[in-house]
Every structure is written in C-alpha cells, then in structure tokens.
C-alpha cells in the first residue's frame, strides 16, 4: 500500500484509513455484529490499513470499546484517531470543549481503548462558545503528559487552522471531501499542504450517494433526509448524475463506489481517504483490488 506521513513530524503509515463509526449504533443505525466488526478491523490491519478512526461519542463509548477489543495485542499495528466534544442524548445536544472536560474525556477514552496513549486526538468541531486557544492548549498539555501523540482538527476554517498550528503543530485535518463535495479544494487543501498537515477525507461516497445503490425517496427515518442533497427533487437530480458515473465505472470495470474512492485517493499524495466498511466481505469484495492496491483514477 502507498504510505502517507501524518503531519511533518508524524509516522509514515498506510494511505487508507478505516472509519469505524458505523460499526456502532449511531444515526438510527442499530450497529453491526461485534464479531464481524472486529474481524473487519483485523482484516484491515492485516492488509496494511493502520489508521483507525473513532470517537468517544460514537455509540456512547461503544465504538471505542469495540476498537479496543480489536487492537488488543495488536497496538503496534494501529494508529488510533479519536474525536471528542460532541454531547448526545439520542440527538446532538451541543459541544463540550472546556479544558476540564477534555482532560476528563481523554482518560475515559484511554480506558475504553485499553491503551496508554492516543495517536491523534481532535475536537469534532470548534464552536463559538469555546476558545480555540484553550482547546489546543489543553491538547498540547496532554501531548506533554504522554497521553496524546499528535493534534488533529476537524471541519474548521482556514483561519482557525493557521491559528491552531501556530500554538501546536497540527498533524492532520479531517474534512468531508468527495466528487459531490469539493469545498476542501478552495482554501483548506492548499493551506494544509503548505503547512505540512495531512488531510483525512471522510464521507468520500457522500453518505452513500456515490455508491450507485441509493434509490429515491429515502425512508422517513433516514438521517440523510436532513441534508439538502437528499431531499425531494435534489436527490432525483443528483441520482441522474450518479448514473453518469455508473457508466464511467462500467468502462473501468469497477463499481461507482470504487470510482469515487479512487478519485479522492488520486487528488493528492497528502490525502488519506477514510473508508467506512463494516465486514471483511465488504473490505475484501468487491473493493479489495481498488482499496488495497490503491490505483490512480483520473
């Protein structure tokens, strides 16, 4: 597998990451079989995927416990990324990014994961109620204490990225990026490359829009209904464009999802596509040729 350096001072690891969120009960998703989820993580590790993305609020801690079981006795093979800060009670209530809370969150994450340190620790968002300097400064203290190796940030503005990087070097920026959402390209991607910050791209199939499997309309309880691109005529219009991608994919002897993943992977050596698959079967067939061989797709 191709390699990517996490930040200017971070390790060189496999260029594709595994998003573990949907292995847990989130967004009206009941979660997956623990046995199959752990097998999927093991399959990824066996094939050079080291970056495991989780969050302390995914399934109210369930996801961290799951990842912890999967990496037991395999800690040296895994690069663990943890997001924190979101407060849920069925629905999102807000964010808690107070320094005392962050210092508390990290300890719970370490216990659930069964590890002594977290490789990449990042607030899931930066809101208007908390000072960026306090958040980054607290993570800097955790780095000095040996509980965290690298600072990460998620879905922030260019100005916030520069401000945070001036306090503590940012190793990775997590941001939504796909053929259907190219906002990252305007400012943040060039800025991250200039500062030596790796980009972890999530939602690379646009919440399933770019899989070729989606049909209109969505079920009433589908969490994607809150996004405008999945609503009414917007969804029908977008699916017409996906049909064009299906024709292109057929010409390349791949699926639409494979084409979408390959496109993100090909945009920059500084981008790590985050793949969200829940079973060894999903990881091994039909994606294996495209994911684990990391082809270039123009």
- Rounded to 5°, the CA angle 245-246-248 comes to 65
Among all residues, which ones are annotated catalytic?
A: 58
- Helices marked H in 125-255: 132-144, 158-167, 188-195, 232-251
Question: Look-up: residue for tokens 């698959």?
Answer: 277
Q: Are 41 and 67 in contact (CB under 8 A)?
A: yes
Q: Are 185 and 155 in contact (CB under 8 A)?
A: no
Cα distance from N-terminal residue to C-terminal residue, the chain: 19
- Rounded to 5°, the CA angle 14-206-233 comes to 170
- Return d(Cα 105, Cα 132) in angstroms, integer: 17
């Amino acid at each position: 597998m191709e390699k990517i350096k996490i930040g200017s001072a971070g390790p060189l690891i496999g260029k594709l990451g595994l998003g573990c969120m949907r292995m847990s009960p989130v967004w009206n998703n009941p979660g997956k079989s623990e046995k199959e989820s752990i097998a999927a993580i093991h399959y990824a590790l066996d094939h050079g995927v080291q970056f495991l993305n989780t969050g302390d609020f995914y399934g109210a801690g369930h996801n961290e416990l799951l990842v912890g079981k999967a990496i037991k006795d395999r800690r040296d093979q895994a690069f663990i990324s943890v997001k924190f800060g979101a407060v849920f009670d069925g629905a999102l209530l807000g964010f808690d990014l107070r320094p005392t809370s962050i210092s508390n969150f990290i300890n719970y994450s370490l216990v659930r994961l069964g590890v002594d340190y977290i490789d990449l620790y990042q607030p899931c968002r930066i809101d208007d109620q908390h000072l960026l300097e306090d958040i980054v400064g607290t993570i800097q203290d955790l780095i000095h204490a040996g509980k965290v190796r690298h600072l990460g940030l998620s879905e922030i503005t260019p100005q916030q990225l520069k401000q945070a990087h001036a306090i503590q070097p940012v190793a990775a920026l997590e941001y939504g990026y796909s053929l259907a959402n190219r906002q990252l390209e305007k400012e943040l991607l060039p800025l991250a490359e200039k500062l030596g910050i790796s980009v972890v791209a999530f939602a690379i199939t646009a919440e399933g829009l770019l899989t070729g499997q989606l049909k209109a309309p969505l079920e009433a309880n589908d969490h994607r209904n809150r996004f405008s691109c999945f609503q009414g005529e917007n969804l029908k219009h977008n699916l017409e464009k996906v049909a064009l991608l299906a024709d292109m994919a057929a010409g390349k002897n791949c699926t639409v999802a494979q084409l979408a993943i390959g496109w993100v992977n090909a945009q920059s050596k500084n981008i790590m596509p985050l793949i969200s698959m829940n079973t060894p079967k999903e990881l091994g067939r039909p994606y294996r040729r495209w994911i684990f061989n990391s082809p270039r797709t123009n």
